Structure 1
């Protein structure tokens, strides 16, 4: 039997599109190469410490501004708790620590103290950008990419604020530098804004389109930045929960190697295990290079289209350092996100962003620790290396990134309990981001907005979402592209699209920091809490000993129970629920036995799922 929709890629965009489509009653299957959904927005554990793989400073959950994530969770009617960062982040720039407050007036004062000669210009610039942002983005919320925008809604907004719209559209083919030149005359402040655009969209002010920069400079202040309480596992986990509760299927650890065509149209996919799956519609959420360089057979497209895709300039490859450090080495005045600028004159390897979410979320590690994820560009060559050369290069990068952190946190090298490096090759292996370019094609003039992948492809059965599309880089933007893709599919099928409704019930709850382990699973029954806490002890091992040699996805069961996805967990557990001896043997092999002297109570979790399934009349997933 064919599905309604196959989604290629279980990153944030793919999961968002799939969950919205499943919510509307479509039969959806999501296929992802990884064993964990989420792509860059995923987690892994080391001896109990939780690390975010990549995306961890999340915008779009706020009560104000362009809040695409809040819109999605409200549409899905799925509760999620998020911590609001006390400030957006702090930038260390030429000896100054510049705090990005959500109060834009307070930020203007902060920035003016660094550039006193530009005080009036700074105020004028941010007030003008905020006015345009308010008129164009906020007053008439429309969670659609530019290529899918509703004409009636856009016309309504245009007629209400014609001057703001005209100014906004005039930025379409101008650079951020051209926009800034209308306000500033100090060369130093251009260097500062260079760092902002390189952080937001991996491009300099000369490369960045003004139309995007104008929004980004203001949006983050209005909406604020957030972190899912308990780690980012809850963001993709909740989306997966909605998919499976509505009859959808998640296929992990399988790669789509080709899109199947019949009569000149995409009709299905072939997996790396030779299986062929078919659907009326396909939603692709990967990179443009993989789409036209691998998945679409060359005979089904044109040489010009393939060349266009391959010639798109990627963002810098990235390297990521993950570390557990002694709590004492991180000063009390440290912000959750710190952008460390080593060279104000250029975007190079000295520019590192450090994320220390354990400051606000105490569930990520033990009380005497902090977890750090530090990410920056890598200008090294990573291909064609022997294993020894590769490991030596990783060690060199580890030392380099620790030295950058040492400048901000003196003595940190002596306080490292665990450290590891994710190279561009690692990033590509786990997320399929070509060359480790974490943000896809660079969002720069010449390949911005409508010059990228559109939501609707050349074929009416293939839709696209993700960072290669019109919206580009960032979690709110890929989420918006997913909303647009889902709505395009729904319109094609004659179903109701998801649109903004001012009176819609709110499902995003902002919780106070510091967030502690005793507050996890608030709102669940005591028995559910007990089982969820036990499942959360699972290390989600890449090569789990507990299920070695079996097709029993204990890791996947525990991950689902951890986020309250009991339906999805039961679907995986039901085939083995009656095999008590086998389950007990799996528990004895649990990696926590060696680390904590106490295994995850797999037997108890499976027994609970069996009882819960029987009480709800759920049948085994045969």
Structure 2
């Protein structure tokens, strides 16, 4: 066998599973179509500006609440610096600003000021949800998906707080609306909660299961909202670092075309370059549609299973606007994440979530700029367009999204220095999100929880994780699914799983905000700091001008150095066929050299990693 385990898909769930397995000394390979890991969590650059391509509303890093990210980094013993936002986010609803404070009492007071007729009910609702959340989720932390919960451990917890557990389980097959109706009567407050569930799990209160909504309404207050200091490059980058430091392989820019079966059982994968890789176990971190509609030959499954998978209803397709604007166009007091509700009565294209993460992280752009990213639904038809029609449609969409932002930031159109749009086609192309559905199958009644793809499949050596599985969308939930897949495999192999231990050493460091370039890498020595800052200047170009078709992965080497993955960078350099003399040519062709005469110092970076690993 080539590997102990192959992980198909390098999103957060796949990287989590792979890094934990590598930590337990399994030989793993992660295969991903993209040239950098992370799936929808990662960055791209335009000149000096860093954009988060997708997932940037990050939960689960705090000391309290459902803190799956913190648990994983503590298990991996991998340090990571995080910025905690003051607010979860701010919702702009019917001309009012609703601030999502960490203190639920403070939040419920503010909400009661807006829905005054429901003041007592708001207090009662959040009191009940918080109490249940503390009993079920916090007192006995379990970092596993519902389908793999240890029954004995669950029974002990249930006996401690039987009423809370009975109430919690009663919500399993009920809608969030039915839960809210036990507390509220004002139709307007239902519209508000509709916006919350559409943000949390991409479903309305009528669609969303109450068991998920009850947790979501509380968890994000208790746990808080975070951002990796220096950009989301660091979150997948740190997981990749653990994989490569423990002899794992990252096979990027390669797509898995199909699973290989031998004697009716999965045995490996076939890649788009013709290679076949084999392992006794496979972890799949992708969509349910691609698994049963593409990777598994119908010969090896049933017609019913294929139909079930293909009939999973997706979340709505999304569009994303990426902009750089004058800093003074964003007023003081703006939250890093703001939800702009255009139509309180229904979900339409006038509703976006705006991310101005440069408020808390000043490394993302110049001192006189802000990055503003807006994501929202699109109900346009993006299929079957010729190039001219497609580009025109993108331009119209860009103008429309800027107009949506203008309702909150009146001067933003004149302040735009750069803008581009990702359509559902873009999202599918780069992240393999079918139809541009960023959150996979909708987490709605009828295809929720145990009616979704589970960790275990009909084969005893294929395990699944990601947003198509039981927990659904969100970075802490997909991380939990990756952790669960890793633990299921470890237990199968007789190895120690990763479970919560009281007093675990903490590796997640909270940094001051606004975070600045001077603060980046402050815990590294001068030589490391200098080369990492130089590597951070790399544009991570999709089509690198520096190598100009040469197989040397300068982009990948620089990306690894920038997050402290020196072992992975050295490995990529050793795999190249370039002579050191070619590095001067690479520098001459560096896009930074072409634009401003200051090339990334590739030769110094290579000399550094050779010295570190010699």
**Which bin holds the TM-score, normalised by the shorter protein?**
over 0.9
Structure-to-structure mapping, 1:211-230, within 5 angstroms: 211-230=211-230
Task: Report the equivalent of 2:535.
Answer: 535
Q: Residue in 1 aligned with 2:461?
A: 461
Match of 2:254 in 1: 254
Q: Deviations over 1:166-188 (max 9, x none)?
A: 00000000000000000000000
CA distance in 1, matches of 2:576, 2:75: 34
Does the 8 Å contact 1:577/1:607 carry over to 2?
Answer: no
Match of 1:3, SS state, is: coil
Alignment correspondent of 1:620 = none
Show the counterpart of 1:486: 486
Once the 2 structures are TM-superposed, how far is the Cα of residue 575 of structure 1 from its aligned partner?
A: 4.6
Structure 1 position 579, deviation (Å) = 2.1
Query: Given that residues 4 and 279 in structure 1 are in contact (C-alpha distance below 8 angstroms), is that contact kept between their aligned partners in structure 2?
Result: yes
Which runs of structure 2 are paired with 1:143-542 in the superposition (5 Å)?
143-542=143-542
- Structure 1 runs (4+) deviating above 4 angstroms are 575-578
On the 8 A contact 1:193/1:205 being kept in 2, the answer is: yes
Distance 1:578 1:548, change over 3 A: closer
Contact 1:574 1:610 in 2 (8 A): no
Contact 2:553 2:576 in 1 (8 A): no
Tell me, in whole angstroms, the C-alpha distance in 1 between the residues paired with 2:575 and 2:305: 46
- What is the Cα deviation at residue 392 of structure 1? 1.2
Secondary structure in 2 matching 1:571: helix
State the partner residue of 2:11: 11
Alignment partners' CA distance in 1, 2:216 and 2:354: 20
- Which whole-Å CA distance do the structure 2 matches of 1:578 and 1:336 have between them? 43
Which aligned pairs between 1:570-609 and structure 2 lie closer than 5 A?
570-575=570-575, 579-609=579-609
Provide the C-alpha distance between the structure 1 equivalents of 2:281 and 2:578, rounded to a whole number of angstroms.
38
Q: CA deviation at 1:596?
A: 2.5
Cα deviation, residue 577, structure 1? 9.1
Task: Tell whether the 8 Å contact from 2:316 to 2:437 is kept in structure 1 after alignment.
Answer: yes
Q: CA deviation at 1:610?
A: 1.1
Aligned mates of 1:542, 1:193 — CA distance in 2: 40
For residues 222-280 of structure 1, give each alpha carbon's deviation from its aligned partner in whole angstroms, at most 9, with x where no partner exists. Answer: 00000000000000000000000000000000000001111111110000011100001
Q: Distance in 1 between matches of 2:444 and 2:111?
A: 26
* Contact kept? 2:325, 2:371, Cα under 8 Å: yes
Q: Deviations over 1:138-157 (max 9, x none)?
A: 00000000000011210110
Query: CA offset at residue 578 of structure 1?
Result: 7.9
Gaps spanning 5+ residues in structure 1: where?
Answer: 615-622
Superposition deviation, residue 576 in structure 1: 5.2
CA shift for structure 1 position 421? 0.2
Aligned residues, how many? 614
Report which stretch shifted further, 571-580 or 134-143: 571-580
Q: Distance in 2 between matches of 1:347 and 1:211?
A: 22
CA distance in 2, matches of 1:599, 1:205: 52
CA distance in 2, matches of 1:395, 1:579: 44
Structure 1 length as normaliser, TM-score?
Answer: 0.98
2 CA distance for matches of 1:372 and 1:504? 37
Distance (Å, rounded) in 2 between the aligned partners of 1:165 and 1:394: 49
Instruction: Kindly state the Cα deviation for residue 66 of structure 1 after the two structures are TM-superposed.
Output: 0.7
Q: Give 1:46's aligned residue.
A: 46
CA distance in 1, matches of 2:609, 2:98: 50
Could you report, residue by residue, the CA deviation over 1:36-73 in whole angstroms, capped at 9, with x for unpaired residues? 10010010000110000110010000000110000000
Query: Aligned in 2, Cα 1:576/1:302: closer, same or farther, shift over 3 Å?
Result: closer
Matches of 1:476 and 1:459, distance apart in 2? 26
Other-structure match for 1:619: none
Contact residue 577 and residue 610 of structure 1 kept, 8 A: no
Query: Deviations 1:163-214 (Å, cap 9, x if unpaired)?
Result: 0000000000000000000000000000000000000000000000000000
Question: Counterparts in 2 of 1:25-40, with a 5 A limit?
Answer: 25-40=25-40
**Contact 1:340–1:352 (CA under 8 A) maintained in structure 2:** yes
Query: Hey, what does 2:126 align to over in structure 1?
Result: 126
Distance 2:552 2:76 in 1: 29
8 A Cα contact 1:2 1:280, kept in partner: no
SS in 2 for 1:353: strand
Counterpart CA distance in 1 for 2:276 and 2:491 is 27
Tell me the residue number matched to 1:70: 70
Residue 451 of structure 1, CA deviation = 0.3
Shifted more, 604-613 versus 303-312: the winner is: 604-613
How far off is 1:2 after superposition? 1.9
Q: Determine the C-alpha separation between the residues in 2 that align with 1:549 and 1:406.
A: 42
Deviation (angstroms), 1:549? 2.1
CA contact under 8 A between 1:577 and 1:606: conserved in structure 2? no
- The one-character-per-residue Cα deviations of 1:507-547 (angstroms, maximum 9, x if unpaired) are 00111110000010121111100110110000000000111
CA distance 1:427–1:575, change in 2 (3 Å): closer
CA shift for structure 1 position 580? 2.5
Q: Measure how far apart 1:112 and its partner are.
A: 0.4
On the 8 A contact 1:256/1:269 being kept in 2, the answer is yes
